[in-house]
């Protein structure tokens, strides 16, 4: 059976935290290391208030989204799944601004992800609602807030493992390498 897969971008197929860390370090003239960032938000590691953190993120996000590398094997595995007939839809809470959407499409294409021109949903604040609407069979997500909403609303979700979601209290499958996805899909179909 072919499945409809909902794929988050930041922290799921893209190592956005690393991109953000290097851009924050440069901007703030700091040398924060990856292991210093244990929270989903970078604010604490940089000594910023949530308001300062949000403003800084907004001012740098187009740069953060432009640079940064895919998670290992994400592109090759998603291409493989697409060629097997699975439907891939990228579902991101990134703001649906023209500029951000353009950067996002370009990044997907640049790194060879299966992007059809129609399988990208921006500004998905309530990912569970989007997943219901698109009849997603399995969702891949890293952010604790989104995970909680997806699982609470009954969307089958795989947690993309990260240090900031290890204490996530709800039971769900977890993976830390895209090559593990085949076993997970076999389990669900
Ligand atoms: Mg994410």
Distance 135 CA to ligand 1 centre (A): 20
User: Does 8 participate in catalysis according to the annotation?
Assistant: yes
**Rounded distance between C-alpha atoms, residue 82 and residue 125, angstroms:** 25
Return the SS3 of 124: coil
**Is 10 marked active-site?**
yes
Please list the pLDDT of the chain residue by residue as tens digits (189 residues): 899 999 999 999 999 999 999 999 999 999 999 999 999 999 999 999 999 999 999 999 999 999 999 999 999 999 999 999 999 999 999 999 999 999 999 999 999 999 999 999 999 999 999 999 999 999 999 999 999 999 999 999 999 999 999 999 888 999 999 999 999 998 887
Å from CA of 29 to ligand 1 middle: 26
Task: Label residue 160 left, alpha or beta by phi (over 0 means left) and psi (-120 to 50 means alpha).
Answer: beta
Predicted model pTM: 0.96
Task: Tell me which of 8, 43, 137, 142 is the catalytic residue.
Answer: 8
Task: Give the residue carrying structure tokens 């897969």.
Answer: 5
* Catalytic residue chosen out of the listed positions 10, 43, 137, 142: 10
């Amino acid at each position: 059976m072919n499945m409809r897969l909902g794929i988050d971008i930041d922290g799921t197929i893209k190592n956005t935290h690393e991109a953000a860390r290097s851009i924050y370090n440069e901007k703030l003239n700091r040398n924060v290391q990856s292991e210093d960032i244990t929270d989903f938000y970078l604010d604490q590691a940089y000594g910023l208030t949530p308001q300062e953190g949000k403003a800084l993120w907004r001012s740098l996000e187009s740069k953060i989204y432009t640079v940064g590398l895919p998670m290992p094997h994400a592109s090759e595995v998603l291409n493989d799944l697409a060629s097997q007939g699975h439907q891939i839809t990228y579902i991101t809470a990134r703001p649906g601004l023209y500029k951000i959407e353009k950067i996002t499409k370009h990044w997907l294409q640049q790194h060879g992800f299966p992007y059809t021109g129609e399988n990208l949903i921006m500004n998905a604040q309530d990912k569970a609602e989007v997943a219901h609407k698109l009849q997603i069979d399995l969702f891949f997500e890293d952010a604790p807030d989104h995970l909680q909403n997806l699982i609470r609303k009954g969307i089958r979700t795989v947690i993309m493992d990260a240090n900031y979601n290890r204490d996530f209290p709800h039971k769900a499958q977890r993976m830390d390498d895209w090559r593990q996805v085949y076993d997970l899909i076999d389990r669900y179909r």
